[in-house]
Amino acid sequence: MSEKVFRILAINPGSTSTKASVFDNSKEIAGLTVRHDHQQLAGFNTILEQKQLRTDDIIKMLKDNDIPLESLDAVSGRGGVIKPMDSGTYTINERMIEDLHTETAMTHASCLGGIIAGEIGKKQNIPAFIVDPVVVDELEPPARLTGFPEIRRTSIFHALNSKAVARRLAGQMGVRYEDSRFIVAHMGGGITVSAHRNGRAVDVNNGITGEGPFTPERSGAAPLRQIIEMCFSGAYTKAELMSKVLGKGGMSAHLGTSDMQAAEEMIRNGDANAAMVVDAMAYQVAKEIGAMAAVLEGRIDAIILTGGLAHSDSFVQKIITRVDRFAPVHLFPGEGEMPALAEGALRVLRGETPAMTYK
C-alpha cells in the first residue's frame, strides 16, 4: 500500500522576511522567501498591520505554483512570544490567537505565523498548528534561580531548529532523541546554546534577555555593575539601552555590521579588531557549550552546531578546537525551520504524536 500523502503549508514570518513552503509529507514542492525592505515595513505602525501584506505573498505563491488552498491538509505556522510551554505541536485555538495579539507577542513578526496559519486553517476547515515556538520552556528547577529572588530565568531560544536537528542527528545515530544527551548551538543573528537530556531542553541561555555569548546583533551577558552605571548615567534612554541588548549590540556594535561574510572580508583585509571580535564571539560560544557540558554531567552524546553562522568554516573551526574533546561535533548549517514546521504537523497527522492544547 502506498504511503498516504499529506499536503502541509508551512509559514515562517521573520522581522524582515516572509518564508512559506508547501510540503507533500516531508518533500518540499514549492517555496517562497520574500525580503521586505525597511522602507516598506516602516509604513506600518505595528506588526499586526503587516498581516495582509504577508498573507497576500503566501496566497500568490500558492497560485503561482498551481496549488489550490483546497488541496491543503494542514497549515503549520511559526509561533510567537506567548506563554511558556512544553515542546510539541499545538493546535491553534482561540486562547492562542488572543495571546498572539498581545503587545508582548508582537515584539516579533513570528506572531504572524500563528495568526495567518489560524486564519487559513479556519477558512479551509483544516487543522492549523504551531510547532516548538521560541517559548518552549523545559528548564529544570536549579536553572531557574538567579541571585535576585525577584527574577527567575525563563527559556526563550531557537527551539524549532534546535529540536529538529537534535531529532535528525538521533535518527542518523540510530537512537531516540528521547534517550539522548545533546548540546545544540544555534548560531544566527541570535545565539542560543541548549542542553538536551532525554528529549527535553533542560537549560539554555535566553536569547533575548542578555544571556550567553554576544552575537552578530545582540549584547549577550555583560558585567552588571557597569550596566547599572550606564542605566543611571543619563547618557542613554531605556529604548537605546534595550536596542543595545537586542538588535544593535554584539558584533554590529563593534564592527558596524551583523554580516559574518562582511566581517570575514574585513579580517582578510587585515583588520585586527574585526579578527579579535570574531574570535571573541567564537570563544564565548565555546564557553557556553562548556557550561552546558556541566549541566549534562559531562556525559554528552554529541555537540551540534547549526544556524546561519555554521556556514562559516573558519568560525566553526574556532569553536570545534575548544569543544571537540567533550563529544563528537556535528554540523547542520542553516536554520531548517521550514521542514521542521512541516514535520511537526506531519507527526500529528500520521497519529505518531497527539496535538497539544494551548491553555
Q: What is the CATH number of the domain that holds 51?
A: 3.30.420.40
Whether residue 132 is found in the same domain as residue 112: yes
3-state secondary structure the chain: CCCCCCEEEEEEECCCEEEEEEEECCEEEEEEEEECCHHHHHCCCCCHHHHHHHHHHHHHHHHHCCCCHHHCCEEEECCCCCCCECCCEEECCHHHHHHHCCCCHHHCCCHHHHHHHHHHHHHHCCCEEEECCCCECCCCHHHHECCCCCCECCCCCCHHHHHHHHHHHHHHHCCCHHHCEEEEEEECCCEEEEEEECCEEEEECCCCCCCCCCCCCECCCCCHHHHHHHHCCCCCCHHHHHHHHECCCHHHHHHCCCCHHHHHHHHHCCCHHHHHHHHHHHHHHHHHHHHHHHHCCCCCCEEEEEEHHHHCHHHHHHHHHHHCCCCCEEEEEECCHHHHHHHHHHHHHCCCCCCEECC
Whether residue 116 is found in the same domain as residue 260: no
> Cell numbers at residue 262, please?
562582511
Whether residue 44 is found in the same domain as residue 172: no
How many Cβ atoms are within 10 Å of 238's Cβ, its own excluded? 8
Judge residue 288's burial from the number of C-beta atoms within 10 Å of its C-beta, 0-12 exposed, 13-18 middle, 19 or more buried. buried
The answer to whether residues 179 and 198 touch, using CB atoms and an 8 Å cutoff, is: yes
Whether residue 33 is found in the same domain as residue 49: yes
> 22 in a domain, yes or no?
yes
Question: Which range among 58-72, 101-115, 226-240 shows the weakest confidence by mean pLDDT?
Answer: 101-115
CA-CA distances (angstroms) from residue 321 to 145, 248, 351?
A: 32, 29, 43
Whether residue 325 is found in the same domain as residue 342: no
Whether residue 49 is found in the same domain as residue 74: yes
What gap in Å lies between CA 259 and CA 281, rounded to an integer?
13
Average pLDDT on 310-324 reads 98
* Stronger pLDDT, 14 or 266, i.e. the higher one: 266
> 342 in a domain, yes or no?
yes
Calculate the average pLDDT of the chain.
95
CA-CA distances (angstroms) from residue 205 to 73, 92, 284, 292, 328?
A: 36, 27, 12, 10, 22
pLDDT of residue 31: 94
- Segment 221-226 long-range contacts (CB within 8 Å, at least 24 positions apart): none
37 confidence band (pLDDT: 50, 70, 90): confident
Given a cut of 60, is residue 1 above it in pLDDT?
A: no
How many structural domains does the chain have? 2
Whether residue 117 is found in the same domain as residue 206: no
Whether residue 323 is found in the same domain as residue 289: yes
> 141 in a domain, yes or no?
no
Whether residue 179 is found in the same domain as residue 310: yes
Q: Give pLDDT tens digits for 189-214.
A: 899 999 999 999 999 999 889 999 99
What gap in Å lies between CA 177 and CA 170, rounded to an integer?
5
pLDDT of residue 2: 66
Global pTM? 0.90
* Stronger pLDDT, 189 or 7, i.e. the higher one: 7
335 confidence band (pLDDT: 50, 70, 90): confident
Q: Give pLDDT tens digits for 102-120.
A: 988 887 888 999 999 999 9
pLDDT of residue 255: 97
pLDDT of residue 45: 86
> 76 in a domain, yes or no?
yes
> 153 in a domain, yes or no?
no
Whether residue 174 is found in the same domain as residue 295: yes
The answer to whether residues 21 and 32 touch, using CB atoms and an 8 Å cutoff, is: yes
> 147 in a domain, yes or no?
no
Sign of the four-CA dihedral 67, 68, 73, 76: positive
Judge residue 317's burial from the number of C-beta atoms within 10 Å of its C-beta, 0-12 exposed, 13-18 middle, 19 or more buried. exposed
What gap in Å lies between CA 105 and CA 114, rounded to an integer?
11
Whether residue 228 is found in the same domain as residue 198: yes
Whether residue 255 is found in the same domain as residue 281: yes
What gap in Å lies between CA 84 and CA 90, rounded to an integer?
13
Q: 90: domain range?
A: 7-136+337-357
Cβ neighbors of 249 (< 8 A, separation 6 or more) are 214, 215, 217, 218, 219, 220, 243
> 154 in a domain, yes or no?
no
> 60 in a domain, yes or no?
yes
Given a cut of 60, is residue 137 above it in pLDDT?
A: yes
